[in-house]
Structure 1
Amino acid sequence: MNGTPASDGPAASPDGAGAPRRRGRPPAAESAGTRDRILDAAREEFSARGYEKTSVRGIAKAAGVDSALVHHYFGTKERVFEAAVEVAFGPVIDEREPVLEGPLDEVGERMTRMIIGLWENPVTRTPLLAIVRSAVDNETAAAVFRRLVAGQLLTRITGRLDLPDAELRAELAAAQLVGIAMIRHVIRVEPLASADPEDIVRRVAPVVQGHLTGP
């Protein structure tokens, strides 16, 4: 015996510093905004650097947390990427699903306007840039991109086309719009990079409609 009185462990400082972190879920007060802050930082990092050049350590630094906390919430960089883009992008597509309804001979314009609108909105542009830039050179990111595009967009359009090549038609329409987004927002080739969005919609919508319902 050394005469040291028994205790329940080291006393925690008022902000929790120095207290041993317990295994399992962090306290609610700690976790309330931390996860969202990590996801916001991840979207910015993936958007600016792409999947390969983004690290868990970099995400943690941008979010102002320890790397271990990123692993605690998400496990791997792949899961951080999936959560960061799906949380931001998926619900937007869900909310805009009615845009793809209505007369079939107008779906090309509605689809074009919806996709162009997502890219023009700074809130949704960041996760889209993260997906596109990362999917170019990384299979993990490409798989997330395919799942988002195929599962949340193309299947809804294909289901409306009563044609034997409906899937190919929907993919060609999507390729047209993704290509425009790449040139306009990623490669930034002029004059497309500075063109009026309404002018783009006016010119491209008939082409997308042709992919979907043309001969």
Structure 2
Amino acid sequence: MVHHFFRGKDELFAASVELPADPAEVLAGVETLDPAVRAQAIVRAVLRLWEGPAQHGMVAFVRGTIGSKAKTALMREMVNRTILSKIMAGLPGSSEEVRVRGNLVATQVVGLMLVRYVIRLEPLASADPDDVVRWVAPNIQRYLTGDLDTPT
């Protein structure tokens, strides 16, 4: 029945929790970028989404998801299949290494969203988006393609 009414589980999830944005649209084209330069595009895509009209819906969505075990489980599945699969597409390494790298990227992106838009911790909350990209993208890039054994 899911496939009769929806294109797949991701669309069902988005409808059931009123996801304020389509991750595929937000991250369109990221998977085609060279992994060596992908981090800035990821941070810019996140900032575009959160700086836009969907911000209030995104904050409400995050707050509601964190408080619900069922929504958190659905979100985890959607993040793995829809968001991380795009971000991590084409990265070299074993599937386990790519999964670890994806999880590390997620720590930075989720942390950025929580601190900047939900908790609104200053000075990050009001920082210029270009500064945020400059500060956060190098860490994400390290998680994407850098040496995970040696801190930089």
TM-score under structure 2 length normalisation: 0.77
Partner of residue 131, structure 1: 61
- How many matched pairs? 133
Partner of residue 159, structure 1: 89
Q: Which segments of 5 or more consecutive residues in structure 2 lack a partner in the other structure?
A: 1-12, 148-152
Distance 2:55 2:103 in 1: 21
Partner of residue 141, structure 1: 71
User: Is 1:82 matched up with 2:13?
Assistant: no
Distance 2:79 2:55 in 1: 15
Amino acid in the other structure paired with 1:114: A
Alignment CA distance shift 1:163-1:190 (3 Å): same
Partner of residue 8, structure 1: none
User: Is 1:111 matched up with 2:42?
Assistant: yes
Paired residues of 1:101 and 1:107 also in contact (CA < 8 A): no
Greater Rg over alpha carbons, structure: 1
Residues 9-24 of structure 1: matches in 2 within 5 Å?
none
Shift of 1:100: 3.3
User: Is 1:185 matched up with 2:117?
Assistant: yes
Amino acid in the other structure paired with 1:195: A
Amino acid in the other structure paired with 1:98: G
Shift of 1:80: 9.0
Paired residues of 1:94 and 1:152 also in contact (CA < 8 A): no
Identity across matched positions, percent? 32
Q: Which has the higher contact order (CA 8 A, sep 6+)?
A: 2
Amino acid in the other structure paired with 1:141: K
Amino acid in the other structure paired with 1:108: A
Alignment CA distance shift 1:95-1:113 (3 Å): closer
TM-score under structure 1 length normalisation: 0.56
